Amino acid sequence: MMKSGRANFGSKLGVILASAGSAVGLGNIWRFPYETGNYGGAAFILIYLGCVLLLGLPIMLAEFIIGRRSRANTAGAYQVLAPGTHWRWVGRMGVLAGFMILSFYSVVAGWTLEYVFEALGNGFAGKTPEEYIQSFQAFSGNPWKPIIWLVLFLLGTHFIIVRGVEKGIEKSSKIMMPMLFVLILVLVGCSVSLPGAKSGIEFLLKPDFSKVDGNVFLGAMGQAFFSLSLGMGCLCTYASYFSKDTNLTRTAFSVGLIDTFIAILAGFIIFPAAFSVGIQPDAGPSLIFITLPNVFQQAFSGAPWLAYIFSVLFYVLLALAALTSTISMHEVVTAYLHEEFKISRKRAAWFVTGGCIFFGVLCSLSLGVTKGFTVFGMGMFDLFDFVTAKIILPLGGMLISIFVGWYLDKKLVWEEITNDGTLKVRLYKVILFILKYIAPIAIGIVFINELKIL
């Protein structure tokens, strides 16, 4: 079943860092805080943690099993493991989701580039919180600027993708992830010591369950899938490059832990700062872009050069974290086109980049020029986000857990989880029980509940 000549990740650390590089990105630092703000704070976070533990980790393991066993792109994987069945549609649906997410994700990734240059030119210095809001609105509503950044970002992703798997992805993740982590810790320290930060900390720690409804569950579940890169075969594609002795369970735990930790820390940067300067926590997608400049300016008001260095460094690392995520999405679609349609990798990559530029531009415009044009009350950006994170990813996750829990031969699952019996995995039975019953039923209940509300 091994396809010789297929690329592999070089080292153990490389495996974890590349997968964590895919998981950690704008989902943690941009989307998690704004969804937490939308859904009211601590109660959302608790439900989110439940989703990560109960659904996220087992489904991540399931994706790893499918990917490493089949050694193929996500749609091809089902053809290898379940030839002649309709399961390949799960893979195809994932490829579609990857393409859609990459389109709107690149818009926000482009914003981070604008902020890198704003920081480099010391453009944040001496402004009031009001002015940060105004300048963000002027920027994101501008028809040209965000589009130029978006195109540049996608081209950057493109060139890393065509250079190949190991060199591109592994090398970049190894340096950037630890740096980002350290900087985030520093910023948490700064943010919680701002005046009035206490109510932000309370917002994160004191749950108010009176506001919890089906919507909050769908939001938390969608965020868990989005942040962990699950439900569309992304980690499944990465796992197809894992080596035979990668410990799948341990890798899933490490990636889940790193990802969740960074999201929570991002919350501890954003909310104390937002409350400190009076920005509403439910400001939506703009939240981190209007809050963070305040953190840099206020926390280092006595040392402007520190504010300068930290803001440049932060936006550079944020853009790079976004890059390791866009690479992983691009890879899913590129590997699919390359292997299934027998076109060269380079050509496949150009199709993906071109298509995402097209839809990305439409998503970007939907936040400004074409704002009035909506479907189901949502512009293209919000629609792509909603359809992928809240429908396709959880649905994909549900089908993946059914595939591994029910369809796959138990012996095969056991071989993959224990590396042919060489590893002792104590949670084996629990994991299988979750994949068989708990995950599909829980996701089903959240969906049914939502249909009633609609």
Q: Which two tokens stand for residue 293?
A: 């400049």
Report, in Å, the least distance between residue 318 CB and ligand TRP: 10
Question: Angle CA(309)–CA(311)–CA(313) in degrees, nearest 5?
Answer: 65
CB of 31 to ligand TRP, least distance (A): 7
Q: Residue 277 in contact with residue 130, Cβ under 8 Å?
A: no
Closest CA to 320 of 187, 168, 140, 144: 168
Helix (H) or strand (E) holding 27: none
Residue with Cβ nearer ligand TRP (14 or 27): 27
Contact call for residues 14 and 170 (beta carbons, < 8 A): yes
Please, which residue, 276 or 334, has the CB nearer to ligand TRP?
334
Q: Which of 62, 94, 61, 59 is nearest to 76 (CA)?
A: 94
Q: How far is the CB of 181 from ligand TRP (least distance, A)?
A: 15
DSSP, collapsed to helix, strand or coil, labels residue 41 as coil
Nearest-approach distance from CB 338 to ligand TRP, in angstroms: 18
Q: How far is the C-alpha of 241 from the C-alpha of 257, rounded, in Å?
A: 22
To ligand TRP, the closest distance from the beta carbon of 394 in angstroms equals 11
Min dist CB 284 to ligand TRP, Å, is 17
C-beta closer to ligand TRP: residue 151 or 329: 329
Contact 16, 254 (CB under 8 A): yes
Q: Which is nearer to ligand TRP, 23 or 290 (CB)?
A: 23
Place of tokens 């700062």: 273
- C-beta of 181 vs 300, nearer to ligand TRP: 181
Tokens 């590349």 sit on residue? 18
Residue ranges in 24-73 assigned as alpha helix (H): 26, 32-38, 42-51, 57-70
Name the residue nearer to ligand TRP (CB basis): 217 or 226: 226
CA distance 377 to 103: 20
Phi-psi region of 344 (alpha: psi -120 to 50; beta: other; left: phi over 0): beta
Quote the CA–CA distance of 425 and 54 in Å, as a whole number. Answer: 17
Q: Which of residues 99 and 149 has its CB atom nearest to ligand TRP in the complex? A: 99
Please tell me the distance from the alpha carbon of residue 146 to that of residue 4, in angstroms, as a whole number: 42
Nearer to ligand TRP, 30 or 403 (CB): 30
Q: How far is the CB of 49 from ligand TRP (least distance, A)?
A: 16
Q: Which is nearer to ligand TRP, 227 or 297 (CB)?
A: 227
Supply the minimum distance, in Å, between the C-beta of residue 258 and ligand TRP: 11
DSSP secondary structure letter of residue 83: T
Closest CA to 364 of 97, 119, 109, 32: 109
Task: Kindly state the tokens that stand for 141.
Answer: 């509503």
Min dist. Cβ of residue 443 to ligand TRP (A): 15
- Cβ atoms within 10 Å, residue 424: 7
Q: CB nearest ligand TRP: which residue?
A: 27
In the complex, minimum distance from the CB of residue 67 to ligand TRP, in angstroms, rounded to a whole number: 13
Nearer to ligand TRP, 101 or 216 (CB): 101
Q: Footprint of ligand TRP on this chain (CB under 6 A)?
A: 22-23, 25-28, 101, 226-227, 229, 232, 234, 325, 328-329, 393
- For the record, the structure tokens of 152 come out as 């540049």
